[in-house]
Amino acid sequence: MRLQTRVGSVGSDIRRFTLEQTLNAAIKLISSASDKSLIRLTYILERFAPSATDANSVRIVREAFRTGHPSVVLAQKVARNLSSNYRRGLANFIVRSTFFDSKKRLAYTEKYGISPPFTILISPTMRCNLRCDGCFAGEYSEKDDLPAEIVQRIINEGQEIGVGFYTILGGEPFLYKPLFDIIEKNPTTIFQIFTNATMVNEKVVDKLASLGNAVLVLSIEGLEKETNERRGDGVFDKVMRAADLLRESGALFMFSVTPTRKNTEVAVSDEFIDLMIEKGAFLGWYFSYMPVGRDPDLSLMPTPEQRDYIRRRVSKIRSTKPILLIDFWGDGALTSGCLAGGRQFIHISNRGDVEPCIFCHVATHNIKGTSLVEALNSDFFKAIRKAQPFGKTHIRPCPLIDYPGAMAGLAKRFGAYPTHPGADRILNDFIPELKEYAENVKCVYEGVWEKEYQWYEQWVNR
């Protein structure tokens, strides 16, 4: 039996190595191949797809190649500029998640009746060297950081159920001293790290380039005026410098914007997007301001009209420019609504509290006293998942701001505690204002779902 296990393990290692080398070569090929060659490549990949869903995804990519979608230009640009270490890391992750972790995920699904989350969000520190207006990062010290052994245990337990993608937030992650040790100890795992970029220098970029399994997300508020106004003088130039260093090193990186009432139009303007493309970002996240954390300010929330403007602009830019953009709220149709509570992610705070969402700071479990699987299957999280989607119109997906009171009721029912002072204001004090906001959003979106999202049923049943 022991010999059979060893032989099986060797066979698996050989298969994995072969797949990684093949995919590595394929990524390299994308950078210079003709459209016809790329289309032929998709037929080969489709044959190796482990499931019908994966095969369908390959067919969607093939159709993009055939129609000359801007995403093809993006893929070629990314493949051309990737360093060998990042290309290896990307190939490793795709092979692991598609061909190996899928078995673990299937086993978890069969046991618990739901897939494990796609990513686990971890804020190992809430310390930050900036004081951005309205940010939920407050006053913390190093003693408040999540111990490195706890972070590693979360990753180990996540890997056991097929989670190979971890999102690191804060605070400023580069203030967390064990960060690089954790990245280095987990070479087959991909880390998405949200950073204010002020600590991203040549030394940091060289280290990232040598590892090849960490993708930075640079926080920015638009152009120089908007960024410095919210983040502080000189921050915009530091973000631009970080982007230049990352591009020149062949690293994958993204950007993240917090649309507020002050910067929405600039944040989705052609001028800003063209700058991000020029700098080398391949993807941009849009997380509209949420009134949570330290000194929450409802007046910073984008108006319902601005929120709809972001949705429409993001959709248009995706179809016309070589960059991927994701509107966390406006793209709810692509995810069939809210993803919180372990449906696709959870958030673990610096104190170990297991929260349903990065914007919902309440918990019933702390990871220091429970396993990851136990936390994912808590009664609180099960109830959140059962309540999803919170409405039929998935472009209004959020139980905090689109259906005020929905999350508050669940938190009260299961005795969820606020994970920091004032965390429950969005669930209590702000409900009257948020109900008015939600009603106004509903009016702005009247008829939009029926007119613009006829494709949804086909998409969800793909």
147, 279: one domain:
yes
Give Cβ neighbours of residue 65 (< 8 Å, ≥ 6 apart). 35, 38, 39, 42, 72
pLDDT of 13 reads 63
The whole-model pTM stands at 0.91
C-alpha–C-alpha distance, residues 337 and 68, integer Å: 29
The DSSP H or E segment spanning 53 is helix 52-67
209, 158: one domain:
yes
Q: Report long-range pairs for 407-411 (Cβ below 8 Å, ≥24 apart).
A: 407/356, 407/360, 410/380, 410/383, 410/384, 411/362, 411/380
C-alpha–C-alpha distance, residues 33 and 413, integer Å: 57
217, 356: one domain:
yes
CB count, 10 Å around CB of 62?
18
pLDDT of 91 reads 80
Is 106 part of any domain?
no
pLDDT of 23 reads 61
C-alpha–C-alpha distance, residues 307 and 330, integer Å: 8
CB count, 10 Å around CB of 147?
12
pLDDT of 431 reads 98
C-alpha–C-alpha distance, residues 276 and 254, integer Å: 9
Beta strands 362-363 and 417-418, pairing class: antiparallel
Q: Do 332 and 394 meet the contact criterion of CB atoms below 8 Å apart?
A: yes
Of 152, 28, 38, 48, nearest to 90 by C-alpha is 28
418, 295: one domain:
yes
CB count, 10 Å around CB of 57?
16
CB count, 10 Å around CB of 3?
7
Would you call the peptide bond into 389 cis, given omega within 30 degrees of 0 as the criterion? yes
**Most distant CA pair in the chain: distance in Å?**
67
26, 160: one domain:
no
3-state DSSP percent of the chain in helix, strand and coil, to 5 = 55, 10, 35
Last residue of a domain, one of 50, 76, 101: 101
290, 313: one domain:
yes
232, 379: one domain:
yes
Residue 148 is part of which domain span? 114-462
Label residues 180-205 b or e (16+ Cβ within 10 Å = b).
eebbeebebbbbbbbbbbbebeeebb
Is 107 part of any domain?
no
- Inter-axis angle of helices 202-211 and 235-249, nearest 10: 40
420 secondary structure, DSSP code: S
435, 373: one domain:
yes
- Inter-axis angle of helices 202-211 and 84-95, nearest 10: 50
pLDDT of 4 reads 46
Adjacent-strand bridge partners of 183: none
Of 207, 230, 247, 208, nearest to 77 by C-alpha is 247
The token pair at 132 is 């951005």
The CATH code of the domain that includes 349 is 3.20.20.70
C-alpha–C-alpha distance, residues 393 and 270, integer Å: 28
C-alpha–C-alpha distance, residues 164 and 454, integer Å: 33
118, 166: one domain:
yes
141, 212: one domain:
yes
The token pair at 28 is 């390299």
Is 184 part of any domain?
yes
67, 144: one domain:
no
100 secondary structure, DSSP code: I
Last residue of a domain, one of 101, 127, 149: 101
Of 249, 189, 241, 188, nearest to 218 by C-alpha is 241
Q: What is the pLDDT along the chain (462 residues), one digit of tens a residue?
A: 444 444 445 455 665 666 666 566 656 656 566 777 778 778 877 877 766 767 777 887 788 878 878 877 887 788 788 898 998 888 888 778 777 788 899 999 999 999 999 999 999 999 999 988 777 665 788 999 999 999 999 999 999 999 999 999 999 999 999 999 999 999 989 999 999 999 999 999 999 999 999 999 999 999 999 999 999 999 999 999 999 999 999 999 999 999 999 999 999 999 999 999 999 999 999 999 999 977 899 999 999 999 999 999 999 999 999 999 999 999 999 999 999 999 999 999 999 999 999 999 999 999 999 999 999 999 999 999 999 999 989 999 999 999 999 999 999 999 999 999 999 999 999 999 999 999 999 999 999 999 999 988 776 776
**In the block, which residue shows the tokens 């003709």?**
34
177, 221: one domain:
yes
Would you call the peptide bond into 171 cis, given omega within 30 degrees of 0 as the criterion? yes
Give the count of domains, the chain.
Answer: 2
pLDDT tens sequence across 204-260: 999 999 999 999 999 999 999 999 999 999 999 999 999 999 999 999 999 999 999
Is 108 part of any domain?
no
**In the block, which residue shows the tokens 């052994």?**
149
Beta strands 119-122 and 417-418, pairing class: unpaired
